[in-house]
Amino acid sequence: MNKVGFIFDLDGVIVDTAKYHFLAWKKLANELGFEFTEEQNEMFKGVSRKRCMEILLDIGNIKATQDQFDTWMGEKNVDYLAYIENMNASEILPDVPKILKFLKKNNYPIALGSASKNARPILEKVGLLHYFDAILDGNNVTKAKPDPEVFLLAAKELEISPENCVVFEDAVAGIAAANSAKMISIGIGDKTILSKAQYNFKDFTEMSVDFIKEIIGN
Ligand code: BG6
Ligand code: MG
């Protein structure tokens, strides 16, 4: 049996920070004079900060100078950092520790594959950093999801071939990245939105350890 590696996205998979990203972008949109909906926010999931800023300006039909672009993007991050400042273990999504503990106990390599540049401090705040053998995030990549770069780098660090890696993702862009890396993609969230995932779960409470064993076995 080949060794299997597990790669977790962060925002919306391990912790419910997707709501904080949304609130911070919504605040900026409102300041710039337009609305920003949860539906539009789906396009922002898994996508780099810079790309989110570009999409937001498109939605608001706003032309920005480079200086404005950088300032507004910086403001969004300051607001986001304020939201996450007091995060603690209570904001870990249900049953995430169940899966992490099982994998760790059985010596399966675990990586983080996130688009966020704030990933490491968040893992520290919620007390999950020690589970991860490798952390690949927005600071390590040149190409954002749906490009598979972050997941391929994670596989490389874990020394596991991509086809033996399992990816947990809540974003359409992240599932596309996992699929194009030829990894096993597991959608966490709305099945209709994440229809390109190989397997779907509403959240980790729906996922049994037996399912993980089955994946490892295959
Ligand atoms: C992803 C989020 O994990 O990280 C995106 O799903 C976010 O919504 C991206 O834009 C970048 O995050 P950050 O923390 O670097 O602004
Ligand atoms: Mg995510």
10: its two tokens: 């962060």
Reference 112, options 98, 95, 94, 130; nearest CA is: 130
Reference 46, options 82, 17, 84; nearest CA is: 17
In the chain, how many domains are there?
2
**Same domain as 207, residue 134:** yes
**Same domain as 153, residue 105:** yes
**Same domain as 151, residue 95:** yes
169 beta partners:
187
The residue whose CA is least distant from atom 2 of ligand 1 is: 46
Ligand 1 contacts CB of residue 116 (under 6 A): yes
Ligand 1 contacts CB of residue 42 (under 6 A): no
pTM of the model: 0.94
**Same domain as 23, residue 11:** no
Q: Which amino acid is at 119?
A: A
**Same domain as 212, residue 106:** yes
Residue owning tokens 């507004």: 72
211: domain CATH number is 3.40.50.1000
Q: How would you write the pLDDT of the chain (218 residues) with one tens digit per residue?
A: 568 999 999 999 999 999 999 999 999 999 999 999 999 998 999 999 999 999 999 999 999 999 999 999 999 999 999 999 999 999 999 999 999 999 999 999 999 999 999 999 999 999 999 999 999 999 999 999 999 999 999 999 999 999 999 999 999 999 999 999 999 999 999 999 999 999 999 999 999 999 999 998 87
What is the atom index within ligand 1 of the atom nearest the CA of 170?
Answer: 6
Cβ pair 47, 55 in contact under 8 A: yes
Of 84, 105, 129, which closes a domain?
84
d(CA 197, CA 207) in angstroms, rounded, equals: 15
**Same domain as 136, residue 72:** no
113 beta partners:
136
